[in-house]
Amino acid sequence: PTAPTTAYPTAETICIDEHALDWRSYDHEIKLNGNRFNLKGLSWFGFETGNNYVYGTDKHTVDWYLDWMVDNGFNAIRLPFSKAFIDESQSNRNDYLEVVQKAGLKGLLVMPDLHSLAKGAYTEGLASRADMISA
């Protein structure tokens, strides 16, 4: 394993090669490159709504929020989106990818979440896997 540089390593502190992420789960722990990974995440909503972008950007930039997350010890983001958002335009897909890439450059793990078929349809999270695939 890669030696951690902190007592409670994050992806950024134990991942020397960003292209060699070895995720495992054993001994009731998540391991990244052989070291315990302590997940501290949050959900950043917006891409699954009619907003078509993450919330809060009318107050601060995406980079400001990502820096805040890192400064406050977060290492993961759940980033929900709707199928309608993704299907609507290449511009929407580019916006989503831009946030994912910016987060990655700051050492944040991004967990994409196909949240719903339609925008703002939070109850669609209960749709079956077959319904989501066929949509």
Spell out the residues 6+ positions from residue 36 whose beta carbon is closer than 8 angstroms to its own: 8, 9, 29, 30
* Band of pLDDT at residue 64, cut at 50, 70 and 90: very high
pLDDT at 62 over 50: yes
Alpha-carbon distance values, 33 to 37, 39, 49, 95, 111 (Å): 9, 14, 36, 30, 18
* Band of pLDDT at residue 7, cut at 50, 70 and 90: very low
Higher-confidence residue of 67 and 18: namely: 67
Tell me what pLDDT residue 32 has: 83
pLDDT at 14 over 80: no
Tell me what pLDDT residue 126 has: 58
For 37-44, what is the mean pLDDT? 92
Distance CA 75, CA 104 (A): 10
* Band of pLDDT at residue 117, cut at 50, 70 and 90: confident
Tell me what pLDDT residue 46 has: 93
* Contact criterion met (CB below 8 Å) for 106 and 70: yes
Q: What is the pTM of this model?
A: 0.76
